[in-house]
Structure 1
Amino acid sequence: MQKINSKTIFELLMIALGCAIYGLSLDMISVPNKLADGGISGISLLLKHFWGINMGLSSLILNIPLLLLGYRFMGKRLLSYTIWGTLCLSFFLWFWRLIPIIYQLNLEHDLFLSAILAGTLSGIGLGLVFRYHGTSGGSDIIARIGQMKFGIPSGQLLLMCDALVLIVSLSYLDLKHMMYTLLASFILSRVMDTVQQGAYTAKGVLIISDNYEKIGQMIDLKLDRGFTYFKAMGGYQKKERPVIYVVVSPREVTTIKNLISREDPNAFVSIIDVHEALGEGFTYKQKQGHLLFRK
């Protein structure tokens, strides 16, 4: 049985917050501006349009078979988080309809702005849910399974699931609203992956140089960054030489490029995106020292 501790409580609260933001986006923006949605939420919108069925109730009922599928692949802990997320989303879809705030943001005159805001808010909400190991049910369960089993980014898989439901939504939406809905779904997938993977992006730097020792020393002194030597062999000369790997913040890229250029103008440098960096200097306090020399 999953032990309830402060970390678990925090994760459950963040999942609830994500569901609240996602539900607010649907109730405050998508429904009033006739924007469709994908997955179970999109099907709930279809049921509301044709038969007037409450979105919270239909969302809860439609999630039952998917929860059974989730139990097969995700295990008890993730399934319990999914059930919590499903209940939270159903609750907030009902709750926000009772709050006058949903009538205070009139975007009906600007579908472009509506699509951007709907995609951004929904992406933030679902990103928080996934970041803290939950789902809000529906196609989120499929996205979570795809991420766990096949390594497919959850945002991309959600976009594919959304597209299928959006095609059906053409039965009550015109092409104009459908295109703006697709824009919102694209923004959702991008924002969601950013929130889930970490909004902070670092830069990984690979350096190949005969002066690797001097470059490493200057990285240590001037940037106060740890670095790693990789053993590598040149493809043409078959000569072994170390490769320096160091992770820096985006604002330090120019500094390290100038540093390398001073020590070896002919050095080979490759700079790659790092979506999340954990450890000293990134997720806890970096060592402090003199401007030029470490303590």
Structure 2
Amino acid sequence: MKLKWWDKHNSLEILMITIGCAVYAFSLDMISIPNGLADGGLSGITLIIRYFLHINLGVSTLVLNIPLILIGFRYLGKRVMIYTLYGTVCLSLFLMLWSHQTIIKPLPLKHDLLLSSLAAGVLSGFGIGLVFRYNGTTGGSDIMARVGQLKLGMSSGKGILIMDYIVLFLSLSYLDIYHIMYSLIVSFVLARMIDLVQEGPNRAKAVLIISDRYQEIAYLIDITLDRGWTYLNAEGGHKNDPKQIIYLMIQPREVPQLKELIRSVDSKAFVTVLDAHEVIGEGFSYQRKRYHISLHK
């Protein structure tokens, strides 16, 4: 019997969560552990347990996630937690798989800890970010980061970075300060990579333009940048006179051209450029409409 609530999108999410867990586990087993690098969050705790008690990472990850999964069910909802259960089991299995397989060898880069730190941060961040982007978590501190994101508005990367620093401090119990400092690089790169992957490639700039010559500016935006815009009705705070604000989204590389365009029309125009972490719509998430050049007269 086919499940009514399951569709192709759910299958894609499960596939991407699987890939994300595989990449993250590979980073831990093949880069972090061989080079003596600590990890943050629950993974960092399992590394401490592995050092003192010699328990496999996959087993300790599975056991320690049980109370955190119960917390997640309370705050994140059933669907996210079903994905979390899958992600937790998937990560544990891949941790066991990578540590026992003999085809791919670990990457001992102890002669260049900076390179190994950057590699571990990029791979781990890409893996976790992929899991987050498709509505899952790998358990552990990921659950707490998602709770913080929903309840406190804190980005997932920042939440994980805070927890990583706490665990890295505890990791001084078995690692020297030299390796801990490089582990901090891993945590920083990881957090940035998570936010980059989770937010997606459709980053843009939101621009607000206030000018009495707004129509001329809008016309040049149309024929020069081929971007759509919206007029926002506003009122001047000093004289209470009506204003028209131009609101548009552009690619970051188009900002200098837009500034020059505005300056050529009104050098006293008030312009605000804001970061937009993700944009869905024409010209960003699907193909931009193109007008024939003969229409621009």
TM-score by length of 2: 0.94
Are 1:228 and 1:246, in contact at CA under 8 Å, matched by a contact in 2? yes
Quick one: which of 201, 212, 222 aligns to 1:210? 212
Deviation at 1:272, TM superposition (A): 1.8
Residues 112-138 of structure 1: per-residue CA shift (max 9 Å, x gap): 111111111111111001011100000
Pick one of 5, 14, 22 that aligns with 2:7: 5
**What is the CA–CA distance in structure 1 between the aligned matches of 2:159 and 2:54, rounded to whole Å?**
29
Quote the Cα distance in structure 2 between the aligned partners of 1:22 and 1:61: 18
In 1: Cα distance, 2:53 partner to 2:122 partner: 29
Change (3 A) 1:292 1:209: farther
Alignment-derived partner of residue 22 in structure 2: 20
Counterpart in 2 of 1:197?
Answer: 199
Shift of 1:18: 0.7
How far apart are the structure 2 equivalents of 1:26 and 1:189?
Answer: 15
Residue 38 of structure 1 is matched in structure 2 by: 40
Q: Which moved more, 1:56-65 or 1:237-246?
A: 237-246
CA distance in 1 between counterparts of 2:280 and 2:120 reads 31
Displacement of 1:24: 0.6
* Aligned CA-pair RMSD: 1.8
Task: Identify which range, 284-293 or 177-186, moves more after superposition.
Answer: 284-293
Question: Which digits, 9 at most, give the CA deviation of each residue in 1:55-109, with x for residues without a partner?
Answer: 0011001101111111111111011010011011001101111334652533111
Q: Secondary structure at the match of 2:107?
A: coil
Structure 1 gap ranges (5+): none
Mapped to 2, the partners of 1:172 and 1:263 lie a distance apart of: 64
* More divergent stretch after superposition (91-100 vs 138-147): 91-100
User: Of residues 139, 142, 166 in structure 2, which corresponds to 1:140?
Assistant: 142
| Distance in 2 separating the partners of 1:27 and 1:294 | 58
| More displaced 10-residue stretch of structure 1: 152-161 or 99-108 | 99-108
**Structure 2 contact 206–249 (Cα < 8 Å) conserved:** yes
| TM-score (ref. length: structure 1) | 0.95
Output the CA distance in 2 between the equivalents of 1:215 and 1:234: 19
The residue that corresponds to 1:47 in the other structure is 49
C-alpha distance in 1 between matches for 2:99 and 2:294: 59
Give the gaps of 5 or more residues in structure 2.
none
Amino acid at match of 1:218: L
The CA deviation at 1:253 is 1.9
The size of the alignment, in residue pairs, is 295
1:106 and 2:91 aligned: no
- Is the alpha carbon distance of 1:135 and 1:98 closer, same or farther for their aligned partners in structure 2, counting shifts above 3 Å? same
Aligned to 2:272: 270
> Which residues in structure 2 correspond to 1:119-134 (within 5 Å)?
119-134=121-136
